[in-house]
């Protein structure tokens, strides 16, 4: 065999290995995208089940001191210890850090 060239046996061995590696990479990418889509779907379902689009009475405290009391115009979102909503009295988007109690209006 001449140096720098491959004989047919080596080429036949590399081709299935390359196909196997590519198949593995594709399956891994598909599995990862399915897992990420599942996380987003479960987070959305949790948010939809926990928070409604109805107004809520909002009371918030920080270190035992009440920092806010009011009402939202609609949906209240809570993420990373932050509660956000549109204040019914001012019409302004409000974000509060701290512990908040939400009582939804029926």
Give the tens place of pLDDT for each residue, 22-40.
777 777 777 666 655 555 6
pLDDT, the chain, mean: 77
% of the chain residues with pLDDT over 70: 63
pLDDT of residue 54: 85
Q: Measure the CA–CA gap between 19 and 71, rounded to whole angstroms.
A: 60
pTM over 0.85: no
pLDDT of residue 12: 54
pLDDT mean over 8-34: 68
Interatomic CA distance for residues 74 and 55, integer angstroms = 4
pLDDT band for position 3 (cuts 50, 70, 90): low
pLDDT band at 91 (very low <50, low <70, confident <90, very high): very high
């Amino acid at each position: 065999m001449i140096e720098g060239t491959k004989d047919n046996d080596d080429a036949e061995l590399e081709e299935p290995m390359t196909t196997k590696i590519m198949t593995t990479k594709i399956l891994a990418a598909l599995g990862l995208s399915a897992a990420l889509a599942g996380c987003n779907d479960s987070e959305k379902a949790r948010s939809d089940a926990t928070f409604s689009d109805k107004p809520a009475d909002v009371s918030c405290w920080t270190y035992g001191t009440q920092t806010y009391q009011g009402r939202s115009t609609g949906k209240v979102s809570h993420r990373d210890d932050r509660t956000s909503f549109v204040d019914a009295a001012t019409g302004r988007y409000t974000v509060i850090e701290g512990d908040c109690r939400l009582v939804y209006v029926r």
